[in-house]
Amino acid sequence: MAREKIHVGLEIGTTKVCAVVAECRRDGEVRLLGVGESPSRGVRKGEIVDFQNASNCVHDALSDAEERSDHEIKSVWLAVTGSHIESSNHRRSVTIEGGGEITEKEIEDIASKDKEVSLPKDNDILHSILQQYYVDGREGVIDPIGIGGSKLEADYHIIHGVVNRIQSTIRCVRKIGIDVEDVVVNSVASAHTILDDQKKASGVVVIDIGGGVTDYIVYENGAVRQSGVIAIGGDHITNDLCIGLRIPITRAEKLKIEEGSAFLENLSGTEKITLKNDTGFSGKEIDRSMLNLIIHSRLHELFGILRNRIQEVVPIHLLGSGIILTGGCSLIKGVREVAESVFEVPVHFAHAQSITGPTSAFDNPQLSTCIGLVKYAHAVDADAPQESFLNRFISSITRKLHLI
């Protein structure tokens, strides 16, 4: 079977490294070929702290993916996250020369003004996302080419991060001989999986609660309004349980996955959970009310911080599509109810859309970032100028002529 353009998305997460191989067809469909996973070591809060270990895990995940997809991976699209990633909104403007009609030149000029954004010294721009154009102060222009005016302005959402910290993630992949096509911020990638244009237009927040960090991105009127990273994730819940219930960290993790719940209602107060004994652990009985309280307070606080940050930019109740939760932590029971009580808007879970393939993996919220990477790559391909058949023919002839 002949395959079309294949993209690989790689996420080095705090709990696991995950690689998705997918075929991107010209008709816009993305077909999943294989998913490779490996438990992650040496990553804390989304960033690499133990280079060698992390690199081994990346290697494991990629070879797993190669095996499953029967495709030799040469390069990947890499998701990055970490508390150093920040964002801001900027407006920039150009004066329209000539006959007062906006041409592609002005659009290019305004897009190339990234350098003028003032950033902290160590930071560099990861994404520069167009929000909207203004022509002579008139709002909401979507495609200004051909419109007449004297001044073109544009709002951009800039996502930036500390260069060195991003590079260490890239180096971790390059070290095992795999090329990195580009880096994409987690939240941007997740949004590609989860959101369609209709949701973006009506306004939505995507909250991706991962193992080490929580990424979020806010869309309003079809454009990114805000995005960011909070270095709180599932690890924190595990750690809270470990400290609060005085159990080993591995048991805490297991308890969180098997019994974890954030419901505070309908608790009798006497219900116990029995932990079986194990080597080096003599077994223990735990109050369910305590377990739920610890998880609830952590999630409640996290959503509270997010609410405050989002409220700075947009009133949450105006976001028509509400909140969408994804990431491994969204699997905890009751997380949606906690989120609804904090945000006071409908909260949904994400389901990866319009991707077809042999596995059911894409329904798994833990993969939304990786699939998003592939979709992002696909979207970049689609934007890139397509060489027509004639051009390719001509250029191949000229090459041959040069050889003679």
List contacts with other proteins (CB under 8 A). Answer: 44-45, 49, 83, 88, 118, 230-232, 235-236, 239-240, 242-244, 249, 290, 293-294, 297-298, 300-301, 305, 308
* CA distances in angstroms from 187 to 13, 215, 246, 361, 381, listed in the order given: 13, 5, 34, 19, 20
Name residues whose C-beta falls within 8 Å of residue 272's C-beta, 6 or more positions apart in sequence: 285, 286, 287, 288
Minimum distance, C-beta of residue 78 to other proteins, in the bound complex (Å): 21
Minimum distance, C-beta of residue 99 to other proteins, in the bound complex (Å): 38
Minimum distance, C-beta of residue 336 to other proteins, in the bound complex (Å): 19
Our CB check for other proteins shows the closer of 73 and 85 to be 85
Our CB check for other proteins shows the closer of 279 and 308 to be 308
Our CB check for other proteins shows the closer of 296 and 378 to be 296
Integer Cα distance of 262 and 43 in angstroms = 26
Q: What is the distance between the terminal CA atoms of the chain, rounded to a whole angstrom?
A: 36
Minimum distance, C-beta of residue 294 to other proteins, in the bound complex (Å): 5
The closest of 299, 305, 349 to 323, measured between CA atoms, is: 349
Our CB check for other proteins shows the closer of 322 and 327 to be 327
Integer Cα distance of 244 and 242 in angstroms = 6
Look at phi and psi of residue 328 and say left if phi exceeds 0, alpha if psi is from -120 to 50, else beta: alpha
Burial 132-155 (b: 16+ CB within 10 A, else e): bbbbeeeeebeebeebebeebbbb
The closest of 354, 329, 178, 170 to 261, measured between CA atoms, is: 329
Partners of 151 in the β-ladder? 95
Minimum distance, C-beta of residue 307 to other proteins, in the bound complex (Å): 12
Our CB check for other proteins shows the closer of 164 and 395 to be 164
The residue behind tokens 């309280």 is 293
Minimum distance, C-beta of residue 297 to other proteins, in the bound complex (Å): 4
Name residues whose C-beta falls within 8 Å of residue 216's C-beta, 6 or more positions apart in sequence: 187, 205, 206, 207, 208, 226, 227, 228, 229, 230, 306, 309, 310
Look at phi and psi of residue 45 and say left if phi exceeds 0, alpha if psi is from -120 to 50, else beta: left
Our CB check for other proteins shows the closer of 308 and 388 to be 308
Minimum distance, C-beta of residue 174 to other proteins, in the bound complex (Å): 20
Integer Cα distance of 142 and 358 in angstroms = 38
Residue 172, classed as helix, strand or coil, is: helix
Minimum distance, C-beta of residue 116 to other proteins, in the bound complex (Å): 15
- Which run of H or of E encompasses 397? helix 389-403
**Six-digit token pair at 20?**
């998705």
Our CB check for other proteins shows the closer of 80 and 232 to be 232
162 with 84: CB under 8 angstroms?
yes
Minimum distance, C-beta of residue 32 to other proteins, in the bound complex (Å): 34
Our CB check for other proteins shows the closer of 49 and 382 to be 49
Integer Cα distance of 104 and 185 in angstroms = 28
Our CB check for other proteins shows the closer of 25 and 44 to be 44
Integer Cα distance of 26 and 181 in angstroms = 20
Our CB check for other proteins shows the closer of 176 and 249 to be 249
Minimum distance, C-beta of residue 89 to other proteins, in the bound complex (Å): 11
